[in-house]
Amino acid sequence: MDRPRAVAALRTEVARFARRHLAGTQRWCVALSGGADSLALTAVAADILPTTALIVDHGLQPDSAAVAETARAEALRLGCPDAHVLRVDVGTSGGPEAAARTARYGALRAAHGGAPVLLGHTLDDQAETVLLGLGRGSGPRSIAGMRVCDPPWYRPLLGVRRAATAAACTELGLHPWVDPHNSDPRYTRSRLRTEVLPLLEDVLAGGVAAALARTAAALQDDNDTLDAQAGAALAEVTTGAGLDTARLAELPAAIRRRVIRSWLLAGGARGLTDTQIQRVDALVSAWHGQGGVAVPSASVRQRLIAGRRDGLLTLHHEPV
């Protein structure tokens, strides 16, 4: 009997991805939520290589444990030799969506055992991510969206529409879990999905999601080139005590800000925004004796200060 059409197309997509990006891989993991995207991905991935399903239970809903256990059982039925439920405690930093994401990726990173982790993000997810970046004014790195390959994370479905994974689940007789958060208007991404993108598709006569995904891909190529140039420039402007502001000032703005970003991250900064990077950049490009700039730090007890002294950009910690 012929393999169902939607499932066959999805399997072809994932197999092509594996040949291109994961040649020689003997096993992989799939992050399984129980939703249509990750469930369809698990089904086809398990048909290609030995697959371990990793199911994160965020504990944010009364039935979360039951949902996770159902997903685990489904993964085993689909042919995964292993399936594990990872229970996490979700904090509050950055808001509920960001806190859940931080907890989820932390659990997956601790459990994947060195194997690639396939994520079920689709073209529709990419379009939503680009819109979020645009709305927040976060700069080209944010507008570039999610990367296809960002080891250990791999996204083989970024060129696939969400409707295709739903169709594959239907063909396989699967009953995906529908996360109520996906339609909850309290969440920004939910409103983008249910209100903003449909309106844009209507006003612009369709094709918006695909166009946003193409924009992300083009920006990723640009970012990769600029990041490589910035890496070489960072080595040239670094001294034992900081960054040489005179040599920094000679760099094109796009390269200079990337140099500053890399330097701040290496010095312990976390969660940088484009606005914060531009404020530190102003210590070079618009210097008039201003004071230092506080940037987010990995330490909860200290804050990180970027300042300028004797022709150098410097970093130091201050108690909170």
Question: Does residue 83 sit within a domain?
Answer: yes
Question: Does residue 234 sit within a domain?
Answer: no
Q: What is the CATH number of the domain that holds 156?
A: 3.40.50.620
Question: Does residue 220 sit within a domain?
Answer: no
User: Which CA distances in Å does 7 have to 28, 122, 225?
Assistant: 19, 15, 36
Does residue 13 sit in the same domain as residue 142?
A: yes
Q: Hey, is 288 helix, strand or coil? A: coil
Last residue of a domain, one of 157, 189, 210: 210
Percent of the residues in the chain that have a pLDDT greater than 70, as a whole number: 98
Strands 117-118 and 153-154: parallel
What are the tens digits of pLDDT across the range 262-283?
Answer: 999 999 998 888 889 999 999 9
Does residue 148 sit in the same domain as residue 260?
A: no
d(CA 162, CA 122): 6
d(CA 124, CA 293): 37
What are the tens digits of pLDDT across the range 197-250?
Answer: 999 999 999 999 999 999 999 999 999 999 999 999 999 999 989 999 999 999
> In whole numbers, what is the pLDDT of the chain averaged over residues?
93
What are the binding residues?
33-38
Does residue 206 sit in the same domain as residue 111?
A: yes
What are the binding residues for ATP?
33-38
- Which pLDDT belongs to residue 94? 67
What are the tens digits of pLDDT across the range 75-86?
Answer: 999 999 999 999
Within 10 Å of residue 185's Cβ, how many Cβ atoms?
Answer: 9
Count the domains in the chain.
Answer: 2
Does residue 85 sit in the same domain as residue 202?
A: yes
Question: Does residue 233 sit within a domain?
Answer: no
pLDDT confidence of 1, banded at 50, 70, 90?
A: very low
Domain span including residue 61: 3-210
Question: How big, in percent rounded to 5, are the helix, strand and coil portions of the chain?
Answer: 50, 15, 35
> Both tokens of residue 159?
């060129």
DSSP secondary structure letters along 21-87: H-TT---EEEE--SSHHHHHHHHHHHTTS-EEEEEEE---STTHHHHHHHHHHHHHHTT-SEEEEEE
CB burial readout 28-48, b (16+ within 10 A) else e = bbbbbbbbbbbbbbbbbbbbe
Tokens 């990041």: give the residue.
227
d(CA 57, CA 258): 36
CB-count exposure of residue 275 (10 Å: 0-12, 13-18, 19+): exposed
Question: Does residue 300 sit within a domain?
Answer: yes
d(CA 202, CA 123): 18
List the beta bridge partners of residue 28. Answer: 51
Does residue 191 sit in the same domain as residue 50?
A: yes
Does residue 25 sit in the same domain as residue 79?
A: yes
> Both tokens of residue 126?
């990419």
d(CA 320, CA 318): 6
